[in-house]
Amino acid sequence: MTIEREVEIQSNNSTVASWLDPSGHPVILTIPPTVYPPREDSVLLDNMLAGLGPGTGKTLLEIGCGSGAISISAAKRGWSVSSCDINPFAVAATIGNAKDLGVVNSINVAEGGPGEEGDWWPEEGVDVIVWNLPYMDPPDTDKEGLGPLEDAAMIDSSCGAKLAAELVESPHILNPGGIILLLHSSNEVGRNLPPIWRRLGWSTRVQRSEVIGDEELTVIAVWRPYAMSPPILMDTCDSTNSEILDGDYQIGQLIQTYKQKSGRGRKNKLWESGKGSFLGSWSISSNSIEGSPGYFQMGASIAILDTFSSFLGFGLPSHSWANGSRLTELGVLLKWPNDIYLEMAKEYAKICGILVEGKTKAGNTRIAIGIGINSIGPNIGVNTAGWRDIPGLQNVKLERISEVLHASMSSVFEIHPLLENTAFDCILEGQYNALIPSFNAGGNQNIGAIIGISKNGHLLTVNGEINSLDELDWHWNC
């Protein structure tokens, strides 16, 4: 690929493309030869933006604006738009198309993008950043008609990480409470994107998904977890759940401690953890899940599996239930309803427990989700393990577990004004598929084959519904 190739392609004529905006109105765009035209992925992302409502008073930054289709569509709905692209021909196309469609005064266009020098972002922070990521496999330039500039952009698999790095250096680009909308494919580059953001402490959640041809395109939201409720660290407390239920904390607040005086697990059993373990509870809105209290345990267990997956570079179970299989290969098993175990030398050792409690006061219900994760297994007379016993997590420190777990809990439970809540069908599927290996390993099969999870959070079997752990006879030495 050479600049001569770029010049050669530029000698071709521009094309005219027509597409329908979310209101059904046709938009006519002039597309230079080396600029990415609006396609099904553009429609998917633009419809997601349209779902946020009128743009009056809102600001948008589109990265990789191409022909300007999404920026122009947003400007027509009242957004104040900034756009950027590393391809100077795309910059020219966006400006020209915006002028032709009467919105040039609502769009500021710059050359550049994440990882590039220059003022490619606006001086003031924005409410939404949107990016149709370069997810495609390297195209045949002769066939596709793309030059080196556009071709290079389309195969840059590190682009999502570049944006994350820019926001670390320049956090003011995104306003408090703002979101990032990223469109990616189901290929390996796309699967690797969410764990990159999660490891950096950002929340991620699937918002839209559509199968186009032989690939699945997904729009994910990325945001700072519980931005108005920073975590609180205590040296010691009686119980982090009691602290949440008896205190006056904001939704999303994490209370973490190094030591609990009266921490407990199921049936009020004493919860003991070794040095350096995670002990914390979140104040969660009772409206964050449409379903039974059992769903809170399910959501928390998926958040923990997400956390482990993030450090291992695996796809996130909350984004697709199929991603949990790689944890199973490492011996990480979910024991219904609220424990996570690790298979070690054909023994099963407990890593983590979850305790969900609620309290109603003056008509308001407060939910506390307590999580205890061992760093290493404490010597308490039963088989225990810690996250450092999981292959690949040996060197992960408590501070990093806390940060990523907080982002993972937000990803599942946070009610964000610009986002749709978690699709709990995906959580149910993730929970079910994470449970199957544990039943194969040690669950008593006289209950019959597990066929699903009910709307009440109970196990569904071919012989009926199981609503209590006491109905199961586990063969694990635990």
pLDDT of 374-409, one tens digit each?
998 766 556 889 999 999 999 999 999 999 999 999
**Alpha carbon distance 52, 43 (integer Å):** 15
**Alpha carbon distance 162, 129 (integer Å):** 14
The whole-number average pLDDT for the span 127-156 is 58
Burial of residue 12 (number of CB atoms within 10 Å: 0-12, 13-18, 19+): exposed
Is 29's pLDDT higher than 80?
yes
Is 147's pLDDT higher than 70?
no
**Alpha carbon distance 188, 137 (integer Å):** 11
pLDDT band at 414 (very low <50, low <70, confident <90, very high): very high
pLDDT band at 108 (very low <50, low <70, confident <90, very high): very high
Is 126's pLDDT higher than 70?
yes
Q: Which CATH architecture is the domain 3-223 placed in? A: 3-Layer(aba) Sandwich (3.40)
Query: For 186-208, how does the pLDDT look when each residue is reduced to its tens digit (9 = 90+)?
Result: 777 778 889 999 999 999 999 99
Q: What is the pTM of this model?
A: 0.88
Lowest mean pLDDT among 245-249, 266-270, 422-426, 469-473: 266-270
pLDDT value of residue 441? 63
pLDDT band at 444 (very low <50, low <70, confident <90, very high): low
Mean predicted lDDT score pLDDT of the chain:
84
Using N-to-C axis directions, what is the helix angle for 69-76 and 40-50, rounded to 10°? 30
pLDDT value of residue 110? 96
CA-nearest of 168, 71, 178, 166 to 118 is 166
**Alpha carbon distance 243, 361 (integer Å):** 15
pLDDT band at 316 (very low <50, low <70, confident <90, very high): very high
Burial of residue 349 (number of CB atoms within 10 Å: 0-12, 13-18, 19+): buried
- Max alpha carbon distance in the chain (Å)? 77
Count other Cβ atoms within 10 Å, centred on residue 313.
13
**Alpha carbon distance 110, 165 (integer Å):** 20
Higher pLDDT, 426 or 129: 129
Is 212's pLDDT higher than 70?
yes
47 within 8 A of 22, measured Cβ to Cβ: yes
Higher pLDDT, 435 or 125: 125
Is 116's pLDDT higher than 60?
yes
- Which fold, 232-471? BirA Bifunctional Protein; domain 2 (3.30.930)
Domain ranges of the chain: 3-223, 232-471
Is 255's pLDDT higher than 70?
yes
Is 308's pLDDT higher than 80?
yes
At 277 the three-state DSSP class reads coil
pLDDT value of residue 143? 43
Higher pLDDT, 405 or 465: 405
